[in-house]
Every structure is written in structure tokens, then in C-alpha cells.
Amino acid sequence: MIERRSTSRLAGAADENISPPDVRFVRVPSIAERKLGADYVAPMRLDPRVLDQMQATIKSLESRYAEALKAQAAMLRVLVEPACKGDAEARGRIYSIVHDMRGLAGTFGHPMLGRFADSLCGYLEQSEIVEWKEGAVIRFHIDAIYDALENPAADPTITMETLNALERLVTTAARSRRRIG
């Protein structure tokens, strides 16, 4: 593919007597222009039918994801004790599971579960080994994830209070770590 390029005047490419600058500014035609050539009509529109189809796709994957989510939540409960006793593989698997939940639960209609996972992920990303041994913050998060999955119709006020409490725990743990450090 031949790219049509234009350098800006700032680049000074037109005058060979001037030494080339350190930075060149380049414009490449859009992918649409390159693929469609003269057929391309700008601006491209968002097609509501495509968006509907994408929403339907998410809906169709929901039940499959719900099964995976249940299995993941159960696995977190299995892994938490060995992880807090020093099992590095269990720790890695816990992080991997909650990282997955953070990314996907909200998309598939479990926003609060996703936020619990996000809070736990944030904690684990800054956690030291000694805190795994204490484990309370991790256990509380995993219980909250499990409850959110088991009781999706729970009072949102209470669920939000739980999240706030967990986030306070994480903040307190971070402060205490800074004091020790």
C-alpha cells in the first residue's frame, strides 16, 4: 500500500539546505480513505442498527458469563486461605480472577460486583506479602463479591455502604503501610 503523506511546513522538508528537524509532523489518510478511495463519504455515521446488534450480542453472552462468574466467585473462596498462608500460585490466581471480574462484570450487568473487584484489584496491586498474611481486607472483599452475586436484588444502599467501607479499609491499610515504610 502506498501511503500519501504530507509533512507540515514545520518539518522543513521542502528546503534541503536546512538540516532536518528532530521532529516531523506527518498526516496519513484515514483507514477509510485508504480502503475505499473515492467511495469514502465522510463523515462516517454510527449506525443504530449495528449498536442494537452489539447490545444483543452482549445479552446473548450474559448467561454464559453468569456461569463463569459463579465458578470464579466459588474459586476465590477456595483460594483465599492458601493465598493468605503464602501460596504464590493461589495469590496469582486470585488477582487474575478479580482482574477479569473488574473488566467484565459491569459489561454483563453486575456493576457492583465489578466495583468490589476493582477495589480488591487496587488493593492487591499495592499489597505487600505481610498484608496477604493478615488477609482481612481480602476476605471481606471476596465475601462482598460472593454476596453481590448471590443476592443481586440486595438493597443498593447497603451494597454501596459495603463498598464504601471496603474502600475505607483499603485506604487505612495504605496509610498504615506508609507509616510503617
Partner 1 sequence: MSGAPTGADAELFRKLKVLVVDDSAEMRRLLKALLESMHVGEIIEARDGAKGLDAFAAHRPDIIVTDGAMQPMDGYEMTRRIRAATAGESANPDVPILMISGHVGRENVVHARDQGVTDYLPKPLSASVLYEAIVAAVSKPIHFVEKAGYRGPSPKRTLEARRPDADPLS
Contact positions toward partner 1, by CB under 8 A? 3, 22-33, 35-36, 39-51, 53-58, 60-61, 65, 68, 99-100, 102-107, 111, 114, 118, 121
| In the complex, minimum distance from the CB of residue 21 to partner 1, in angstroms, rounded to a whole number | 9
Query: Using CA atoms, how far apart are residues 155 and 180, in angstroms rounded to an integer?
Result: 38
Q: Min. distance of Cβ 35 from partner 1 in angstroms?
A: 5
- DSSP 8-state symbol, 18: S
d(Cα 44, Cα 25) in Å, to the nearest integer?
Answer: 25
Do residues 129 and 87 touch, judged by C-beta distance below 8 A? no
Question: Nearest approach, Cβ of 160 to partner 1 (angstroms)?
Answer: 17
CB 106 within 8 A of CB 139: no
Shorter beta-carbon distance to partner 1: residue 7 or 135: 7
Nearer to partner 1, 59 or 168 (CB): 59
Residue 161: Cβ within 10 Å count: 11
Q: Minimum Å distance from CB 87 to partner 1?
A: 18
Rama region for 20: left / alpha / beta (φ>0; ψ in -120 to 50; rest): beta
